[in-house]
Amino acid sequence: MMESNAIAIRGVEQHHQHFRLGPINLDIAEGFVTAIVGPNGSGKSSTFRILLDLTKPDAGSMTVLGYKVGEGDDREWKRQIGYLPEESSKEDSYLRGSEKAAFVRQWYDGWDVNLYQDLLKRFEVDDSLKIGKMSKGMRRKFELALVMAHKPKLLLLDEPSSGLDPIAWKSMIELLHRYMEPGDRTILMTSHIVEEVRRLADFIVFMVRGQVLGKYEKDELFQRWQVLFVAPMNPASPSISSVLPSAWPGVVEAEPAGGGMLRIVTENAELTENALIDMNYRINTRQSLTLDEILDALMRRGAYV
Amino acid sequence: MWLPININENSPEPLYHQIEVQLRALIVSGQLAEGTLLPSIRELAQMLKCSVITVRRVYQDLESEGLLRTRQGTGTFVANVQEEDRDRQRTASVIEAVEAAVDAGMRVQLTREEMMQIIVQILDKRWKENG
């Protein structure tokens, strides 16, 4: 796999009356799935629209697939992108699925009619229906087939699974994994579904209140963030109440737990453990944190800086 | 192809290490025969719900140990494991496990004699169980 960026965002800002996005600096590596995670209104969808030059930033610059966004003819690079917005467009409800597909395919040289048919079959979508008459789930699956049928190099998926039932959700996950198989394709997605990020993402980006809080390799993130229940090795040593665990390396939160123990949330388990051993503490129990628990802890911390 | 690899999310062992130890054992024990085509990096990542970065690291480590080989465009295969390699690998994983056990003992400040006693006790018990 080549190590290059499918997307590079440099100092991008967008100012609204009640919301300020950025400045955002972010690289999205080619060949990987990156999931942006964050509460509603944190600027995820705005970032997608800026990347596609649908709205203009007030500052900063971006490249997508090596092309500078907002300069020159954008058809070349947009042809290599599949973009699934969060909200379906209302205007095409009166069209049959097949009519919409016939319209879309004109714009893409790489449109693969067999792949399109295969996607419809796999998702059990009937494209002879009027789009407005499709169920919410079928409509989402139809839209997903539309953005993938031209075999894009880059998929931008904004909440792809919204409206999907568990069976359809599972086939979407499998489909996206298979899409990534060639190794030079890239997915940038947003998701509220913890399990979806867990199953798909290689990298996780946290975004809160218009800011990027950080980008992490997924497995490393879950390895580092842990809950530890600890106690002094020697019960006669200074009591729990007199120590200051919030100053220990890596510790994000600490509170007394039952049985003379402390419950510690760490963002660097290895660092914290080594410090604990040096201080003659023993680790009684460890638990991993879920993605939303990590996000929650990051946000609570962010509120005070 | 599915691989019988178990991941313990609450283990202090890093994910790549858990996968590597188990995959190495499958190869060294001969459960995965020479020439077996392994899942692609993306497929194994999907099965184990981990990132491709982790799987790539495991494949690279085992390749540099000579247990796997990658053929461009076709995939990753189980290499020919020599008899002496097999013996060395077999003991290597045991040595590592004993080292971890000793570390655990030192962490709770067991003496050398106490640890010896525990190991002998376990050996006696297991050998008796297995007749």
Q: Which residue has the tokens 């025969």?
A: B33
Confidence at residue A258, expressed as pLDDT on a 0 to 100 scale: 80
Lowest mean pLDDT across A133-147, A182-196, B68-82: B68-82
Under an 8 A CB cutoff, do A201 and B108 touch?
no
Q: What is the mean pLDDT of chain A?
A: 90
Query: How far does B74 lie from chain A, in Å, by closest CA?
Result: 12
Question: Is pLDDT above 50 for B59?
Answer: yes
Average pLDDT over residues B62-73: 89
CATH code of the domain made up of B15-78: 1.10.10.10
pLDDT recorded at residue A286: 87
- How many CB atoms neighbour CB B5 within 10 A? 17
Q: Could B16 and A219 be called an inter-chain contact, meaning their C-beta atoms sit closer than 8 Å? A: yes
Q: What percent of chain A has pLDDT over 70?
A: 95
Considering only alpha carbons, which residue of chain B is nearest residue A216?
Answer: B51
Distance from CA of B56 to the nearest CA of A (A): 10
Q: What is the dihedral of CA B85, B86, B91, B96, to 10 degrees?
A: 80
Give the pLDDT score at A1. Answer: 43
pLDDT attached to residue A157: 97
Residue A241: the pLDDT is 55
Nearest to B49 by CA among A299, A162, A202: A202
The nearest alpha carbon in chain B to A226 belongs to B10
Quote the pLDDT of residue A279.
Answer: 86
pLDDT at A237 over 70: no
Query: Which of A181, A217, A287 comes nearest B40 by C-beta?
Result: A181
Whole-model pTM: value is 0.86
- What value does the mean pLDDT take over residues A219-225? 93
Judged against a pLDDT cut of 60, whether residue A240 lies above it is answered with no
Please tell me which of the candidates A198, A203, A277 has its beta carbon nearest to residue B49.
A198
**Structure ipTM:** 0.82
CATH numbers and ranges of domains, chain A: 5-221 (3.40.50.300), 226-288 (3.30.70)
Cβ neighbours, 10 Å, residue A246: 11
Mean pLDDT across A67-94: 90
Give how far A83 is from chain B: nearest CA, Å: 22
Q: Which residues of chain B make contact with A228, given a CB cutoff of 8 A?
A: none
What's the rounded Cα separation, in Å, for the pair B119 and A18?
67
Return the residue matching tokens 């955002």.
A24
Contact A152, A115 (CB under 8 A): no
The stretch B48-69 carries a mean pLDDT of 94
Q: CA–CA separation, A35 vs A155, rounded Å?
A: 12
Give start and end residues of each alpha helix (H) in A60-189: 75-78, 97-105, 113-123, 136-148, 166-180
Residue ranges covered by each domain of chain B: 15-78, 83-129
Identify which has the larger pLDDT, A243 or B116.
B116
A231-247 average pLDDT score: 70
